[in-house]
Amino acid sequence: MRFFNLFLLFIASGSLFAAKEPKGVVNAKKSLVTILVYDDGVLLRNGLGVFVGDRGDVLSAYSLFQGADSAVCVDASGRVRPIERIVGADDVYDCIKVRAAWDKKIKPLRMAADAAVKGAALYMVASASKKSAPSEQLIVSDVTTASGAAYYTLDKPLDSLYQAAPVVSEAGELVALVQPSAAGDTISSYAIAASFVDALSTSSLTYNSTLYDNIDIRRALPPTQKEALTTLYLLQGLSMGEDKARFFAPLNDYISEYPQSYEGHLMLAEYFAIADSAFDKARTHWYKALRLSDRPDDVFFNISKVYTGAVARHAADNDSVAVQFIDSALVNVDRAIAIKSEPLYLHNKAELHFAKGNFAEAFDCYEALSHTSMSSAEVYAAASKCKEALGEYDAAVAQMDSAVATFGTLPVEAMAPYLLSRAMLKHKAGRAREAVLDFNGYERLREGRLAAPFYYMREQAEYDAKMFQQALNDIDIAIYMQPQEPLYYIEKARLCYRVKLVDEALSALSVAAGLVPENPDVHYLVGRCHQSKGDDAKAKEAFIKAKEYGHPDAEARLGDIDKQQ
């Protein structure tokens, strides 16, 4: 209905228009379009737009498209073309750039090279009909700047039906688009520079914004290949969920727009492999990527990463399948390394060998990595874990020495986790006193932010280093911080028994028995304490309970008591 009202308005307002319009303005009418927007097949509204450029782009009003799921544009000859993409939008100045289906009969309007100046005569093109009155002449009464573009104040008020109507120069070049008038303004009207609207585009930051979510028409990719790829990477997570179309529509656009780019095929392959476990389909696109790419090493590395990701998803279900994926990942990362030995590829290979349990091979990779640009405390720590897994504790400590050394001679907090790891390794290597020194260094770096398990770990190293007073202090701190943990009371009892503080040991065991009455270690240690005091009756009673609860040495202790009696 609004469309017909607009037509009637064009006819009724003929007396307002000049009698003669320039030829350029007449020709500009060929670029005018009427836009019809729909939601679920129901016409929502209609409005004006204008063809520009050489791809079927149309400049119009953003508000016209809100809530629409489809739209068409009708040109001066009556040809109807579907709107296929939203190219860019701005809700502040209520303007939008959309893209219609292209054909050679589209007549785009040439953009004015320069902004109009104050006092210039412009023409509003609002009807393409040959029978309509001439276009209305408007005088620029002021020019300001909005978002870096010219913003015009025009000398006459315009009806809201003219929103987004093109404003052209005498030569028929597009200067601006009519803006909504301020409420109650009966003196002036406004227009935003057409160059501002024409420059609108999506970007990796705006592609998924609410600005475009208000319109259910496909969005065009950002204008550069780099920005388009970034957008796809940001959207890639959608391919694994229920909203796959929001990823695949732009991905298909990318493959169509950049047919010589291999990255789109890599993304398709990753989807087939991860979301559908369809590795045959994935391989088809990997082969396409290899044919297109001038960096086959990057393709092989991406294939390796996909197989690596599949390991974690299948390891719990089927170990043999997980191993097959690791093997496939290793084959492909080796292919990448054979082409170009990148540190990132070597790091991937190291992780794969470690996951498979090939600790010696993993160490060789990490050791080689330590001589590249990726050398870091993390790399040395990973190499240390390989040596630890091989039972080579001194070698593991040496690697952790290198990790700590990367921080220099002055202690910094980032060094703390490596000191803690080295302390535990030194303890395993039988270097208890050295371990205590590292535990102490860690404590200084983490002062005031330590928990009971730290004091328990250091107590064990101190026990083995025969630093018994320090050990007693630490186990008491652990108990104070976590009084409901029976392990700490049992550990204190073991320590007290070792230094012949038997009554203190029995006191700790009494608390432990209240927390875990069926723990065999508690009753076994109670038996040892009573046995050391010469109370065989109580010792036997405790050893019987320890045997009942499954302690492996309790029966032998009972036998010793029986022999003595």
Map 176-226 to HEC letters: EEEECCCCCCCCCEEEEEHHHHHCCCCCCCCCCCHHHHCCCCCECCCCCHH
Quickly count: other Cβ atoms within 10 Å of residue 220's Cβ: 23
Structure tokens at 5: 């009202």
Q: Which residues contact 137 (CB under 8 A, 6 or more apart)?
A: 17, 18, 21, 121, 122, 123
Q: Cα(186)–Cα(66) distance, rounded to whole angstroms?
A: 27
For residue 421, what are the CA distances in angstroms to 30, 252, 298, 417?
A: 76, 49, 35, 6
Q: What is the pLDDT of residue 476?
A: 97
Block means of pLDDT (10 residues each) for the chain, 565 residues, are 41 44 91 96 95 96 96 94 96 96 93 94 84 81 93 91 94 94 78 96 90 93 94 84 80 93 93 85 95 95 92 67 90 97 96 95 97 96 98 97 93 94 97 97 93 97 97 97 97 96 96 96 96 92 94 91 77
End-to-end Cα spacing for the chain: 113
Q: Cα(245)–Cα(523) distance, rounded to whole angstroms?
A: 65
Asked if 379 and 402 touch (Cβ cutoff 8 Å), the reply is: no
- Cα torsion 253, 259, 264, 270: sign: positive
Place of tokens 């009637």: 8
Three-state DSSP class for residue 48: strand
Q: Which residues contact 5 (CB under 8 A, 6 or more apart)?
A: 161
Strand positions, DSSP E, 119-158: 121-124, 136-146, 149-154
- The predicted model scores a pTM of 0.75
Three-state DSSP class for residue 379: helix
Q: Cα(521)–Cα(537) distance, rounded to whole angstroms?
A: 18
Q: What is the pLDDT of residue 310?
A: 84
472-476: long-range contacts (C-beta < 8 A, 24 or more apart)? Answer: 472/496, 472/499
Q: Which residues contact 150 (CB under 8 A, 6 or more apart)?
A: 115, 116, 143, 144, 176, 192, 193, 195, 196
